[in-house]
Amino acid sequence: MTELLHYTQLGQGEPLLILHGLFGSSKNWHSLAKQFAEKFTVYSVDLRNHGSSFHDAQMNYQVMAEDVEALINHLGLQPYSIIGHSMGGKTAMLCALRCRHKISKLVVADIAPVNYQHSHTDLIGPILAIDLNRVSSRAQVDKTLATDISDPMLRGFLLQNLGREGDSWYWKVNWRAIQQQMDALVDFPLNSDDNTDIPALFIRGENSDYVDDRGITAIHQTFGNARIETMSNAGHWLHAEQPQKFTELVLHFLG
């Protein structure tokens, strides 16, 4: 039997899936999920090698889409709407292309169906260099990472993946698998004839470079019924930087 992704469920109404980005988890979306749950049954999912979901050496969009589809089939959800940010947005797009008859609406946050040069392997090396057997506190890990990762907010985000059981520390993220499969994660498995007319909303951050002219062209070629909104005063983590505006845009689109 296929191992199922971990998820949390909130609210009542039509089903709505939320897929987080790289190095994130469903917990990053808890506040927004509570707002969406006023109108929908919200399933906040931990993608493979993240959060409380299983670890696996394979890490690409085909297997991640299959994971989501297995969960959908297990829960018996169709039709459903889906929101995805960054890596989760690429997974959501592939789900829409593979199972377009099951998805009613698609929301993608600050990512396009293209390959990227953005690689985050420089963050993984310092993390893997830490010997968790010698760690006594979260602050100690933060201090160690500060040598290579100067941004305290970024370190705080990464440290959300540090778990503890008794006196033992562990990483919820499978850093090694992600490091080895990063080329697949910055790419997107798109065939020239892949397209769908599913109603789609793409929201990009004004201060982000993830959805440029090349990305906009790819969006319209692949998603013929797509609308693109640019959120002012927001970067790549637009849902965290402008949560109220993001929620308003999504709820207006989902209806």
pLDDT tens by residue, 101-135? 899 999 999 999 999 987 788 999 999 999 999 99
Mean pLDDT of the chain: 96
Candidates 3.40.50.300, 1.20.120.430, 3.40.50.1820, 1.10.10.10; CATH matching 7-116+187-254: 3.40.50.1820
- Domain extents in the chain: 7-116+187-254, 121-177
Contacts for 49 with CB less than 8 Å, ≥ 6 apart:
55, 56, 59, 173, 174, 177, 178
pLDDT of 83 higher than 90? yes
pLDDT single digits (tens) 32-77:
999 999 999 999 999 999 999 999 999 999 999 999 999 999 999 9
Task: Name the DSSP class of 13.
Answer: S
Nearest one of 196, 211, 205 to 233, comparing CA atoms: 205
Confidence category of residue 151, pLDDT binned at 50, 70, 90: very high
Active site residues: 86, 236
pLDDT for 118: 79
pLDDT for 199: 98
The reported pTM is 0.96
pLDDT for 1: 57
Nearest one of 56, 20, 51 to 162, comparing CA atoms: 51
pLDDT above 70: percentage of residues in the chain? 100
pLDDT single digits (tens) 200-238:
999 999 999 999 999 999 999 999 999 999 999 999 999
How far, in Å, CA of 205 to CA of 3, rounded?
Answer: 35
